[in-house]
Chain A
Amino acid sequence: MTSERPKARTPYSGGASPASRRDKLRRKVGDNVLGYAFMAAGIACFALFSWYPLVRGVILSFQQVNFVTDPIWVGFDNFKAIFDDPLFYTAWWNTLKFTVLALILGYLVPFAIAVILNEIRHFKGFFRIAIYLPVMLPPIVVVLLWKFFYDPGNGLFNTVLSFLHLPTSDWTQSPKMSMISLVLVSTWANMGGATIMYLAALQNIPGELYEAAELEGASVWQRLRHITIPQMRFIMLVLLLLQIVATMQVFIEPYQLTGTTNPDTITVMVLIYRYAFTVNNDFGLAAAMSVLLFIVLGVFSAVYLRVTRDQD
Chain B
Amino acid sequence: MTSDTRTLISGTDLNRRRNKVIYYTVLTVLMITFVVVFFFPFYWMVTGAVKHPAELVRPTPTFIPESWHWDTYKLAWDQLNIAHFFLNTLYYSIGGWFVQLLVDVTAAYALSKLKPVGGKLILGGMLASLMLPAAALLVPAYLTVTDVPIFGWNLLNSPWALWLPGAANAFNIYVLKRFFDQIPNDLLDSASMDGAGRVRVLWHIVLPLSRPVLAVVSIFAVIGMWKDFLWPLLVLQDPDAQTLSVALSRLSATNQVPLTEMLAGLVIASIPMIVVFMVFQRSILGGLQAGSLKG
Interface residues of A (CB under 8 A from B): 1, 3, 5, 7-15, 31-32, 34-36, 38-39, 41-43, 45-46, 48-54, 56-57, 60, 115-124, 126-134, 136-141, 144-145, 147-149, 153-154, 156, 159, 188, 193, 196-197, 200-205, 207-208, 210-211, 214, 220, 223-224, 227-228, 235, 238-239, 245, 248-249, 251-252, 256, 269, 272, 276-277, 283, 286-287, 290-291, 293-294, 297-298, 301-302, 305, 308, 311-312
Interface residues of B in 64-99 (CB under 8 A from A): none
Cβ–Cβ < 8 Å partners of B109 in chain A: 38
State which of B126, B129, B187, B293 has its C-beta within 8 Å of the C-beta of A200.
B293
Q: Is the interface of A mostly helix, strand, loop or mixed?
A: helix
Say which residue of A45, A140, A223, A302 sits within 8 Å of B248 (CB atoms).
A140
CB <8 Å contact, B139 and A272: yes
CB neighbours (8 Å) of B122 from chain A are 39, 43
Chain A proximity of B193: nearest CB distance (Å): 6
Residues of B within 8 A of A207 (CB): 5-7
CA distance A52 to B264 in the complex (A): 41
Contacts A49-B144, A154-B59 given; indicate if A293 touches B230 (C-beta within 8 A).
no
Contact B57 A130, beta carbon cutoff 8 Å: no
With beta carbons under 8 angstroms apart, the residue of B38, B170, B259, B292 that contacts A238 is: B292
Question: Lowest 10 CB-CB distances: which A-B pairs, in order?
Answer: A207-B6, A35-B116, A42-B107, A294-B136, A12-B185, A200-B289, A35-B114, A57-B140, A38-B110, A53-B140
Contact present for B110 and A35 (CB under 8 Å): yes
Let me know if A200 and B292 touch, CB within 8 A. Answer: yes
Bound state CA distance, A256 and B59, in angstroms? Answer: 24
Contact between chains at A251 and B149 (CB < 8 Å) = no
A31-B198, A238-B292 given as contacts; is B227 within 8 A of A133 (CB)? no
Whether the pair B193, A7 counts as a contact (CB closer than 8 A) is: yes
Q: Which chain B residues border A39 with CB–CB below 8 Å?
A: 106-107, 110-111, 116, 119, 122
Option from B107, B245, B252, B281 in Cβ contact (under 8 Å) with A38? B107
Q: Across the interface, do A130 and B149 meet the contact criterion of CB distance under 8 Å?
A: no
Which B residues are in CB contact (< 8 Å) with A197? 288-289, 292-293
A56 to chain B, nearest CB (A): 4
* B21 contacts chain A at the CB level, 8 A cutoff: no
Determine how close the nearest CB of chain B comes to the CB of A53; give it in whole angstroms: 4
Nearest-Cβ distance from residue A16 to partner chain B, whole angstroms: 12
Listed residue (B58, B113, B229) with the most chain A CB atoms within 10 angstroms of its CB: B229
How far apart sit A252 and B285, CA to CA, in the bound complex (Å)?
25
Q: Which residues of chain B from 45 to 64 have a CB within 8 Å of any chain A CB?
A: 45, 48, 57-61
Contact A272 B193 (CB under 8 A): no
Which of B41, B60, B143, B285 is A128 in contact with, Cβ under 8 Å? B285
Inter-chain contacts of B258 with A (CB < 8 A): none
Contact sample, A vs B, 18 pairs, CB 8 Å cutoff: A3-B193, A12-B113, A12-B188, A34-B114, A42-B167, A46-B126, A128-B281, A136-B223, A138-B226, A144-B249, A148-B263, A200-B292, A211-B6, A235-B292, A251-B230, A298-B131, A298-B132, A298-B133
CB distance from B24 to the nearest CB of A (A): 9
Contacts of B141 in A (CB 8 A): 49, 53
Task: Give min CB distance, A195 to chain B, whole Å.
Answer: 10
- Among B136, B244, B284, which residue has the most Cβ atoms of chain A within 10 A? B136
Given A156-B61, A203-B5, A220-B8, CB of A286 within 8 Å of CB of B139: yes
